[in-house]
Amino acid sequence: MVILLKRAYEPPGPDDGFRVLVDRLWPRGVSKDSARIDLWLKDIAPSTSLRKWFDHDPAKWSEFSDRYFSELRHNAEAVEQLAEHVRRGPVTLVYGAKDKEHSHALVLKAHLEGLT
């Protein structure tokens, strides 16, 4: 199982495999052609209320992670859809957040890795 993480503002690479945008909103200033997204899985992103509460505040990271893990546990359909792609080959989770150390994509990757 290979799950990579990449910001939407980074160019696609030859090793990215299947590219999945895991944000509820399309990243500003990124064209659909340049992003080379294979699947936009909005439903796997944190809920709007959780995203707004977190507001990319590192002080809330631990609580955000716990809440997002909980959302993922109750979102079996979207998680299974993504897990199926992961079982087939490399998947890159594409996200728009600037902070690479406090991105929901990290939580999502950990959740997917915990399924195996």
Per-domain residue ranges of the chain: 3-114
- Average pLDDT, integer, range 109-116: 89
pLDDT digits (tens, 9 = 90+) for 45-68: 999 999 999 999 999 999 999 999
* Mean pLDDT of the 66-89 span: 95
Residue 25: both structure tokens together: 């909103």
Say what the pTM is: 0.93
pLDDT at res. 116: 62
Closest CA to 64 of 37, 94, 38, 99: 99
Instruction: Answer for the pair 60, 53: CB distance below 8 angstroms, yes or no.
Output: yes
Three-state SS for 108?
Answer: helix
Crossing angle of helices 61-73/104-114, nearest 10°?
50
The pLDDT tens digits of the residues spanning 31-51 come to 999 999 999 999 999 999 999
CA angle (79, 82, 85) in 5-degree steps:
150
pLDDT score of 109: 97
Burial label, 26 (beta-carbon count in 10 A; 0-12, 13-18, 19+):
middle
